[in-house]
A and B are shown apart, each in its own frame.
Chain A
Amino acid sequence: MSGTWPYVIAAWLVVLGAFLAYAVITVVRGRSLSRQVPPERRRWS
């Protein structure tokens, strides 16, 4: 059954890679936009 391991690894890499990439894009964009918006309009902190 070792023939299935490549698929398992590929699937996990796809999942982690996709989520990580999306998270990084969101956070980076959030930072650059945050600088342009005055702090009183960002209600979290």
Chain B
Amino acid sequence: MQKVLTGKCIVIGDNIDTDQIYPGRFLAITDPKEIGSHCLCGVSEDIAGNFPEGGFVVAGRNFGCGSSREHAPIALINMGAVAVLADSFARIFFRNAVNLGLLPIICKGINKHVKEGQTLTLDVEAGTVNVHETGEVFECEKLGDQAMKILEAGGIKPMMRAKFAGK
């Protein structure tokens, strides 16, 4: 896994739930690219089409609350996001993100300080986010051992494939 990532960001608010990330009316869709094209359309229809490849979603508290739908991280990844930086995450979203290799990083207060379109560098091991335009550095919580183990394997799928191939 890449542990230092640089990209542009978008900034959204608190309690961004899975209905806003990926509305119920699209749930029957299974093609990942098509799922990505509807990402965050509950917040704004304009986000997915203009999202910077390899970029960050910066949000407030309780990101990903609501449904257990894995479409939410699938949508974010296929929209081009590599990480979500937020005050806090809902539990099922956190698990789903880690399983699929999307980084859910707790970085308290960041959404009050960064602006849409700014360039950020996330250092996963150091636990820092650097804002290029302002030089500000934010400390974030480091991911736990279990999450890191899955992420370093490239997600739960490669991890399970390796486990079952050996059997």
A binds B: no
Interface residue ranges, A against B (CB under 8 Å): none
